[in-house]
Amino acid sequence: MKYNFFIFLIIIFASCTSQKKMIYLQGSGVADSTNNFINKSLTYKIHTGDILYVKVLSLNKEINSIFNFDYDASNNYTLNNEISMYYKGYTVSEDGHITLPVIGKVLAIDKTIEELQTFIQTTVDTLLKDAQVIVKFGGFKYTVLGEVKKPGLYSYYNNKLTILEALGEAGDLTDMGNRKNVLIIRPTQTGSVTYRVNLLDKKLLEDPNFYLTPNDVVYVEPVKTKNWKLNAPNISIILSSITTTILVINFIRLTF
């Protein structure tokens, strides 16, 4: 009987350990409490090669057609998908500029999206009255690789993206994904920089790398036990075999 109890404890312990390794943001608060996590996210500066969406909007359709070469008087603006954005967006050149209709060359490199929008708006205000400038990333691209259900290259049409949102788009981690040591590879002007984040720790919510930047690569490594789990029999089968063996031994002892 004590052997059966021992096996029961092993099963419970294994189950609890496994669950603990799967829960994100542990210690972030119980259901009836509220915690405030302040995150000073990294400010992304525009790089060479970035594709930007820039529009000058006014009530005058003729003005719109002059300042925006993708303007169509029949439907205002042509629909932009990822491919058309490549051709119709403004790519930051090697010298850090974009070239806009009428306005000409504008230095974009090392500016934030907000700074670039303000700069272009100031220039447009000297040319037009009551016009509005809109600047956005022409597709926030990132890559998710490794132990996720849907690895691949993704586009996100917003200026901010969290690592949890990125992993959610990739179908979440597999059971074999190492949630404690996720690698972020971030290209910069001087080369690639790497960061490590722990999805199980609530401190992630205060980590600047909680927010991704364009062209980041997120790599989820396998846990160290992956190879063993792939080559060995399923643990439930092992425990079942052990239990059966103990029952047989107990039966033999009772019989003889």
230 pLDDT more than 50: no
Mark residue 98 as left, alpha or beta (left: phi above 0; alpha: psi -120 to 50; beta: remaining).
Answer: beta
Predicted TM-score (pTM) of the model is: 0.69
- 137, with CB counted inside 10 A (0-12, 13-18, 19+), is buried
Averaged pLDDT score across all residues of the chain? 80
pLDDT of residue 228: 47
pLDDT band (50, 70, 90) for residue 162: very high
**Distance, CA of 179 to CA of 210 (rounded, Å):** 14
DSSP-derived pairing of the beta strands 97-100 and 104-107: antiparallel
Find the mean pLDDT for residues 36-49.
Answer: 77
pLDDT of residue 221: 95
51 versus 1: the higher-pLDDT residue is: 51
**Distance, CA of 44 to CA of 92 (rounded, Å):** 15
pLDDT digits 0-9 by tens, 164-200: 999 999 999 999 999 999 999 998 878 899 999 999 9
pLDDT of residue 251: 59
pLDDT digits 0-9 by tens, 61-112: 888 888 887 666 554 555 456 666 666 789 999 999 999 999 999 999 999 9
Domains of the chain: 51-137 (3.30.1950.10), 140-224 (3.10.560.10)
